[in-house]
Chain A
């Protein structure tokens, strides 16, 4: 699904975002990206969205080389990637329903389909009752669920989440994570950048750890911190 080959990204003047980063994330995987702030997690996500261009190296997403993807095709790429952010990024003047519907309007979905799909997905994330609320009228956890619904309403093959639980309380966070797992079960590849130690430890999924832009750990069933066990396993 995602291939990074020796990717380096440096910002002006010489701040390192990613350094000689290589990894392969397969179709249908569920991956945690961990690492301290500034270790390159967000850079990685922005590179996948082609919000940034790598300084060196090659990135493939769903088999397409982002380096040769023309700028006008970028919207098409993004329609195939659902995105969830720490700050939700909901349109503040649109209702819950309209926010989710916008992702479908963008791809030219017929009105009839929008009317069917939006309530469906809102029920799935448990917001069937709040369709006509504005983002500021609902809680952070609910806003994040709207944003997950928007990311998934098109059934994209890939879903990226940048600190999806960073702004919400732990109990609500569990709900969001369960939602992402459910989405992963439908075959969507899910990549989550997170600081949520407890969550990562509980889920035991693939973990990629970044430090100063370098990949320092890649475990199939990893924990948040590097443990002596892991070292012995020699992963």
Chain B
């Protein structure tokens, strides 16, 4: 294979047919941006859901007259449960502090005594087990219920579960959208390449008459397609990264309970061994090259 010659041929025609080159680059760019956005949004949603699941917490309010020993014993008993990940003790003073932070000084400074109970914050390992775990606490003697109710144990069961279900739904929707956009991207790219080759079919015919083998004709087109695809996809991947970074930055500063995430550009272990965005860039190149091959087929038939 005469790599030098093919590279020169490919570069030359990329430059000469710059309008078509631009069309191909822009097509791949747009496809990459759409695909990349969907994937990155999906990933953020995943992380959001995970962090939400991690935050499923049961508040157990305890009686004011419980002794430190009783508290300690209860804490250890809860920690020993296999479903429990973590237990934090919130004393009456801390509870008051937190209350003060949310409502302001002027209410709390008029209080004669501290009306807020101490509590334990129990984090479970699996959000699905929250009901079962909470049920274990209702009859504990240390728990302070308002008489006739079970309000000493509180957790956001229904809300959390509904949110998780919604997120699951959105996640599936995202995957559907990804598949759809991927298909659209492939179609768009192959159409663009076909157009550009149609414009040059006379050239291909002449090459064949001079005795060029099919691969001799193909290589420059394949390199062209790869280069155009790669350039478009790299610009697209970088744009997705920058926008993601800007949005995540803005979210972190304005909505503090949201754990928005800047996608790592070059490394992302499990799902994308090469990193999502480099994978996208490479995919753009391969798609471009494949587009070239497929579109040429019609003109290389003898």
Query: Is residue A207 contacting chain B, with contact meaning CB distance below 8 A?
Result: no
Q: How far is the CA of A161 from the CA of B17 in the complex (A)?
A: 31
Q: How far is the CA of A8 from the CA of B231 in the complex (A)?
A: 52
Q: Do B210 and A71 have beta carbons less than 8 Å apart?
A: no
Which stretch (B38-46, B64-72, B201-209) binds chain A? B201-209
Which stretch (A31-39, A75-83, A138-146, A193-201) binds chain B? A75-83
Query: Is residue A90 contacting chain B, with contact meaning CB distance below 8 A?
Result: yes
Query: Is residue A174 contacting chain B, with contact meaning CB distance below 8 A?
Result: no
Q: Please name 18 further chain A to chain B contacts, defined as beta carbons within 8 Å, in addition to the given A89-B206, A103-B211, A107-B211, sorted by A numbering.
A: A49-B209, A74-B302, A75-B211, A77-B211, A78-B209, A78-B210, A79-B211, A81-B211, A83-B209, A90-B206, A91-B206, A93-B13, A93-B203, A102-B207, A102-B210, A106-B207, A106-B211, A106-B212
Query: Is residue A108 contacting chain B, with contact meaning CB distance below 8 A?
Result: yes
Jot down 6 A-B pairs with beta carbons below 8 A, ordered by A.
A74-B302, A75-B212, A89-B205, A91-B203, A92-B203, A105-B2
Query: Is residue A150 contacting chain B, with contact meaning CB distance below 8 A?
Result: yes
Q: Do B206 and A93 have beta carbons less than 8 Å apart?
A: no
Residues on B with beta carbons closer than 8 Å to the beta carbon of A81:
211
Q: Do A75 and B206 have beta carbons less than 8 Å apart?
A: no
B 196-249 contacts with A by CB, 8 A:
202-203, 205-214, 216
Count: A-B pairs, CB below 8 Å: 52
Whole-angstrom distance from the CB of B98 to the nearest CB of chain A?
74
Q: Do A76 and B206 have beta carbons less than 8 Å apart?
A: no
Interface size on A, residues (CB 8 A): 26
Q: Do A106 and B302 have beta carbons less than 8 Å apart?
A: no
Supposing A93-B12, A93-B16 touch, asked if A78 and B206 sit within 8 A by C-beta, the answer is: no
Interface size on B, residues (CB 8 A): 19
Residues on B with beta carbons closer than 8 Å to the beta carbon of A105:
2, 5
| Main secondary structure on B side of the interface with A | helix
Residues of B within 8 A of A (CB): 2, 5, 12-13, 16, 202-203, 205-214, 216, 302
Q: Do A75 and B5 have beta carbons less than 8 Å apart?
A: no
Residues on B with beta carbons closer than 8 Å to the beta carbon of A74:
302
Name B15's closest neighbour in chain A (CB-CB): A93
Q: Do A150 and B210 have beta carbons less than 8 Å apart?
A: yes
Residues on A with beta carbons closer than 8 Å to the beta carbon of B203:
91-93
Q: How far is the CA of A108 from the CA of B216 in the complex (A)?
A: 10
Residues on B with beta carbons closer than 8 Å to the beta carbon of A51:
302
Residues on B with beta carbons closer than 8 Å to the beta carbon of A103:
210-211
Q: How far is the CA of A103 from the CA of B208 in the complex (A)?
A: 10
Residues on B with beta carbons closer than 8 Å to the beta carbon of A106:
207, 210-213, 216
Supposing A105-B2, A105-B5, A106-B216 touch, asked if A78 and B208 sit within 8 A by C-beta, the answer is: yes
Residues on B with beta carbons closer than 8 Å to the beta carbon of A75:
208, 211-214, 216
Q: Chain A 187-225, CB within 8 Å of chain B: the 1/0 string?
A: 000000000000000000000000000000000000000
Name A93's closest neighbour in chain B (CB-CB): B16
Residues on A with beta carbons closer than 8 Å to the beta carbon of B16:
93
Q: How far is the CA of A77 from the CA of B212 in the complex (A)?
A: 10
Residues on A with beta carbons closer than 8 Å to the beta carbon of B207:
91, 102, 106
Residues on A with beta carbons closer than 8 Å to the beta carbon of B208:
75, 78
Q: Chain A 47-70, CB within 8 Å of chain B: the 1/0 string?
A: 001110000000000000000000
Q: Determine which residue in B202, B206, B214, B216 has the highest number of CB atoms from chain A within 10 A of its CB, and name it.
A: B206
Q: How far is the CA of A181 from the CA of B197 in the complex (A)?
A: 38
Whole-angstrom distance from the CB of B216 to the nearest CB of chain A?
6
Residues on B with beta carbons closer than 8 Å to the beta carbon of A49:
209
Residues on B with beta carbons closer than 8 Å to the beta carbon of A76:
211
Question: Lowest 4 A-B CB distances belong to which pairs?
Answer: A79-B211, A78-B211, A75-B213, A106-B212
